[in-house]
Amino acid sequence: MVMLSILKHCNWKTSRNGKCVVAILRGMCEGPVNDTQKKPEHYDIIIGGGGLVGTTLAVAIAKNKTLADKRILLLEGAPPFKGFDVTKPYSNRVSAINKKTVELFESIGIWERITNARVKHIKQMQVWESNSDALIQFQHNHFAEDVACIVENDLILDAVYTELKNAAPNVEVRNKSQIMEVRLPLGKGQSEIKLRSDEKFSCELVIGADGANSLVRKEMNVDVFSIDYKRMGLVATLEVSEAGDNSVAWQRFIPTGPVALLPLSEKYTSLVWSTNIEHAKFLKDAPHDEFITKLNEAFCKEYQKNDFIVKAINGLNSLMGRSGGNMRQYPPRVHSVLEGSRATFPLGFLHASSYVCSGAALVGDAAHRLHPLAGQGVNLGFGDICLLVETLAEAAYSGAKLGDKHYLLKYEQKALAKNVPILIGVHGLHTLYSTTLSPVVLLRSLGLQLTHNIPQIKNIFMKRAMGYN
């Protein structure tokens, strides 16, 4: 600073050379520019959230020929994924994958890796009511196709992260990167992300795959319809006896809520039990033998039935030529639960009024959340991926910006058409099966039995469950 004062006093600043010297000395005195003032590093797409949907989306974009040259940043707040060990016991976090999701996994090159590890192919599903004799069974003719596939979540993540590492050079993954701030463009500008580490990034499009409490969604300022069911889901890994090939999924609606068994292998099954909060906490902490007794009772106990409802169901079956009644099967008996596998999680409903805005889009639980009774939650998220990648490829091929709202709205329209009927249907089922009032039990029992008895109606539900409109 002393040198600058001397130069100014000597009027060096009035000459061209003097200005250069002053500028150089000022830079030497003031030091380098602060890192926080640097221009943010730029990516074409930034994905917030490295869970099942976020990581799969990154691979799907990288594998798309039209989008293969796009630079992608995947931000995940958790430490690096530790991988999947097939020699370890089954996890209590599993997903029922439908046919449409399998096709997505095949297209991005991860399904073979998953099937080479361990997957359970479900050939039939039985759903039945405890307050009446109504039931429905889903299966393809001669069991030619799977109704669903049960896969551990960590196995899916392992396959996706392996594919990211081996075949997606344009994707950069940053772990322990928590998003603190999201700035979206008002017009045709760029979106910006700021991390808790003060690092900043810019992009054409930021995609919120950051779950039900999405920070990206909050910055988009869209209305959100949400319901706290004030209920909890209990999951556990069970060992069953005399299960045969154990390829049937079971779900029974009992007065406290639906309870389901999802086969994992010939010996092991995954439990999802939806109930009130107090009951869920009791089941989670109950002694082993007491828990097993309560669980087997949930599937086999005969609950009190209304005679009028029983006669109505029998009358419907007779009218439709099924006078022999329902051929109900019973699930294999559970004889143990893997230690440490019992866990609970809150249940609720959520839907964003819009999935997109200029420079941003939502996928998965950031856009919608539903009850697990139909096993459709993660499949809806994977369906979002297919539609969004298709839309982004169309925008890129046309020379448009990836964050162009005109193109993003096409994704939103298709996603809403796919998701809303399922969201409404599942929420409606939850509401219908949350009471034991006789008129409601009659209504839902007749609906369940009618669907079972009419193949055309049943096929519509099966196609929806498989991911097809």
In this structure, of 64-78, 118-132, 450-464, the range with the lowest mean pLDDT score is 450-464
Average pLDDT over residues 162-167: 95
Within 31-132, where are the H helices? 52-63, 99-107, 111-117
Alpha helix stretches (DSSP H) within 118-237? 153-167, 215-220
- In the block, residue with structure tokens 């939502």: 362
pLDDT, position 16: 40
Token duo for residue 348 = 């609720």
Res 139: pLDDT: 84
The end-to-end CA distance of the chain, in Å, is 72
Query: What does DSSP say about strands 200-208 and 124-129: parallel, antiparallel, or unpaired?
Result: unpaired
- Which structure tokens are listed for 83? 């991988």
CATH number assigned to the domain comprising residue 292 = 3.50.50.60
- Which pLDDT value is given to residue 19? 41
Please state the rounded mean pLDDT for residues 12-19. 40
Radius of gyration of the chain (CA): 28
User: Could you tell me the sign of the dihedral formed by the alpha carbons of 6, 7, 13, 14, in that order?
Assistant: positive
Contacts of 23 (CB under 8 A, 6+ apart): none
The percent of residues in the chain predicted with pLDDT above 70, rounded, is 88
Q: Find where tokens 């995609």 sit.
A: 207
For residue 465, which phi and psi values (nearest 5 degrees)? -65, -30
More confident residue, 14 or 156: 156
What confidence score (pLDDT) does residue 207 get? 98
Average pLDDT on 420-448 reads 89
Q: Which two tokens stand for residue 273?
A: 């039990």
Q: Has residue 14 got a pLDDT over 70? A: no
Question: E strand or H helix at 193, and its extent?
Answer: strand 191-195
Least confident of 218-232, 264-278, 418-432: 418-432
Q: Which of 359, 361, 36, 398 is nearest to 202 (CA)?
A: 359
pLDDT of residue 469: 66
pLDDT at residue 108 is higher than 80:
yes
Question: What angle, 0 to 180 degrees and rounded to 10, lies between the N-to-C axes of helices 307-319 and 438-453?
Answer: 20
3-state secondary structure of 348: strand
The residues pairing with 401 across neighbouring beta strands, listed in sequence order, are none
Asked if the model's pLDDT at residue 357 lies above 90, the reply is: yes
Q: Which pLDDT tens digit goes with each residue over 173-198? A: 999 999 999 999 876 789 999 999 99
Is residue 389 domain-resident? yes
Within a domain: residue 197? Answer: yes
- pLDDT bucket at 451, cuts 50 / 70 / 90: confident
Q: Is residue 182 included in any domain, yes or no?
A: yes
- Kindly report, residue by residue over 81-94, the tens digit of the pLDDT: 999 999 999 999 99
Look-up of token digits 């992608």: 72
* Closest of 464, 462, 439 to residue 451, by C-alpha: 462
292 vs 442, which has greater pLDDT? 292
In this prediction, residue 30 carries a pLDDT of 45
Distance CA 278, CA 71 (A): 48
Residue 28 lies in a domain: no
For residue 93, what are its two tokens? 């976090």
Name the residue with tokens 């991911």.
467
Mean pLDDT, range 27-43, rounded to an integer: 60
DSSP code, position 400: -
Count of domains forming the chain: 1
Q: Looking at the DSSP assignment, which residues form a beta bridge with residue 193? A: 182, 201
* Whether residue 136 has pLDDT greater than 70: yes
* Banded model confidence at residue 27, pLDDT cuts 50, 70, 90: very low
**Domain range for residue 101?**
41-466
Cα–Cα distance measured from residue 13 to residue 23, given in angstroms and rounded to the nearest whole number: 10
Q: What's the whole-number average pLDDT of the chain? A: 88
Residue 22 maps to a domain: no
The one-character DSSP state at 192 is E
Task: Give residue-wise pLDDT tens across range 307-350.
Answer: 888 888 888 888 777 655 557 788 999 999 999 999 999 999 99
Beta bridge partners of 192: 183, 202
Confidence of residue 8 (pLDDT cuts 50, 70, 90): very low
Asked whether the predicted pLDDT for residue 447 surpasses 70, the reply is: yes
Q: Within a domain: residue 420?
A: yes
How many angstroms separate the CA atoms of 74 and 172, rounded?
A: 6
Domain annotation covers residue 439? yes
Q: Mean per-residue pLDDT for 439-453?
A: 86
453 vs 371 pLDDT, higher one: 371
Q: Which residue has the higher pLDDT, 23 or 443?
A: 443
Instruction: Determine the longest span between alpha carbons in the chain, in angstroms.
Output: 112
Query: Taking residues 57-83, what's their average pLDDT?
Result: 96
User: Cα–Cα distances in Å, from 33 out to 39, 160, 236?
Assistant: 11, 40, 55
Q: What is the per-residue pLDDT for 37? A: 55
Per-residue model confidence (pLDDT) at position 330: 86
Q: Residue 368: its pLDDT value, please?
A: 97
Considering the domain boundaries, does residue 362 fall inside one?
Answer: yes
Tokens 């039995």, located at residue? 449
Residue 200's SS3 state is: strand
Does 429 score more than 80 pLDDT?
A: yes
Taking 90 as the threshold, does the pLDDT of residue 53 lie above it?
yes
Q: What is the mean pLDDT of residues 444-467?
A: 78
The Cα 94–Cα 154 span in angstroms is 8
pLDDT given for residue 323 in this prediction: 58
- Which segment of 13-17, 173-177, 401-405, 437-441 scores lowest on mean pLDDT? 13-17
Q: How far apart, in whole angstroms, are the C-alpha atoms of residue 332 and residue 146?
A: 20
Please say whether the dihedral angle defined by the alpha carbons of residues 101, 103, 108 and 112, taken in this order, is positive or negative.
positive
